[in-house]
Amino acid sequence: MSERVRAHLMIAGVVQGVYFRASTARMAMGLNVDGWVRNLPDGRVEATFEGPAGAVTQAIAWARTGPPRAVVESAEIEFEEPHAERGFRIL
């Protein structure tokens, strides 16, 4: 079994009003990655991805671009201890 990791992302750019949260949830569920995604009042999107290292790496790579209408200017990523998340939620 692959090591379980957790990544915490802060994504800036044109990332609200472009289906970023719904697309992130769909992508994460397709990769069997747990966690959550939410809009922040300052216009950024915050997300966590937790699961096997390879799947989390794929989720991070996707988030650096986002869905077609998004324009990601930056993605700050911090790795944290896994929290035993189960499922993926839009907050």
Average pLDDT estimate for 25-53: 98
The percent of residues above 90 in pLDDT, for the chain, comes to 95
- Report yes or no on 69 lying in a domain: yes
> Of 55, 51, 15, 10, whose CA–CA distance to 34 is shortest?
51
Q: Is 39 a catalytic residue?
A: yes
- Give domain status of residue 49, yes or no: no
The average pLDDT across 18-31 equals: 97
The answer to whether residue 2 is domain-embedded is yes
Q: What is the mean pLDDT of residues 38-42?
A: 98
> Is 58 contained in some domain?
yes
Give the pLDDT of residue 3: 87
Whether 21 is catalytic: yes
Q: Is residue 12 part of a domain?
A: no
Provide the pLDDT for residue 81. 94
* Spatial distance between the Cα atoms of 45 and 12, rounded to a whole number of angstroms: 7
Taking the CA atoms of 67, 73, 79 and 85 in sequence, report the sign of the dihedral they define. Answer: negative
pLDDT score for 2: 64
Range of the domain at 37: 1-6+19-44+54-84
Check 39, 44, 64, 89 and give the catalytic one: 39
Average pLDDT over residues 77-91: 95
Catalytic residue among 4, 21, 69, 89: 21
β-pair partners for 36: 48, 89
Q: How many domains does the chain have?
A: 1
60 found inside a domain = yes
- Asked if the structure places residue 90 within a domain, the reply is no
